[in-house]
Structure 1
Amino acid sequence: MDLSQKDWTEQLLQDPNAAILDVRTPEEWSEGIIPNAIKLDLYQGQGFIYKLEELDKSKNYYVYCKAGGRSAQACNIMNQLGFENTYNLIGGMMQWNGEVVAPE
């Protein structure tokens, strides 16, 4: 499901079963992340699928990328793999005005 930044953020903050996925490249990841994001580079192809298979499908996944395209694609893939609740951040990091931290 595509959500505006406002709706994505509000829903995330009220969701005790939330997980945040950053599907950008390592270079983009190094520029800063939304706090507590899990790095899962969509461009890894089959490697991306393998890593998705290791995730808990009962969680609600809040997914973002640089502009919203790759995260929408990632949500579609996740839905096909049996993830029921995926939320795409419309506009991605380019329009994000929430907290950004350096990755550890």
Structure 2
Amino acid sequence: MNLSQEDWVNQLAADENAVILDVRTEDEFNDGYIENALNIDINKGQGFIYEIEELDKNKNYYVYCRSGARSAKACQVMNELGINNAYNLLGGILDWEGETVNP
């Protein structure tokens, strides 16, 4: 499900069962990420699928990438793998107005 930044942030803040998932490359992730995000690179192909299959299907996943395209695809793959609570951040981290961690 696609959510605006406002809806994504509000829903995330109220969700005790939330996991933030960054599907960008490791290099992109290391340039800055949303606090507490787990990085699983969608470009890993089958490796991405294996890692998604290991995730708890009872959690709610708040997914983002650079602009929202890869995370939309990731949410679609997650749905196909039985994770029905995946929420895509429209506009990705490019439009993100919140804090980021810059290692």
Does structure 1 residue 72 correspond to structure 2 residue 72? Answer: yes
TM-score by length of 1: 0.97
Q: Which residue of 1 aligns with 2:22?
A: 22
Tell me the amino acid that sits aligned with residue 24 of structure 1.
R
Unaligned runs of 5+ in 2: none
Q: Which residue of 1 aligns with 2:57?
A: 57
1:99 Cα deviation (Å)? 1.0
TM-score by length of 2: 0.98
Identity of aligned residues (%): 60
Q: Which residue of 1 aligns with 2:2?
A: 2
Superimposed CA distance per residue, residues 34-68 of structure 1 (whole angstroms, 9 cap, x where no aligned partner): 00000000000000000001110000000000000
Structure-1 separation of matches of 2:55 and 2:68: 21
Determine helix, strand or coil for the equivalent of 2:93: helix
Superimposed CA distance per residue, residues 75-98 of structure 1 (whole angstroms, 9 cap, x where no aligned partner): 000000000101000000110010
Q: Which residue of 2 aligns with 1:87?
A: 87
Q: Which runs of 4+ in 1 moved over 4 A?
A: none
1:27 Cα deviation (Å)? 1.3
Structure-1 separation of matches of 2:91 and 2:78: 19
Q: Which residue of 2 aligns with 1:33?
A: 33
Structure-1 separation of matches of 2:8 and 2:38: 16
Instruction: Please give the root-mean-square deviation of Cα atoms over the aligned residues, in Å.
Output: 0.7
1:102 Cα deviation (Å)? 2.5
Structure-2 separation of matches of 1:29 and 1:68: 14
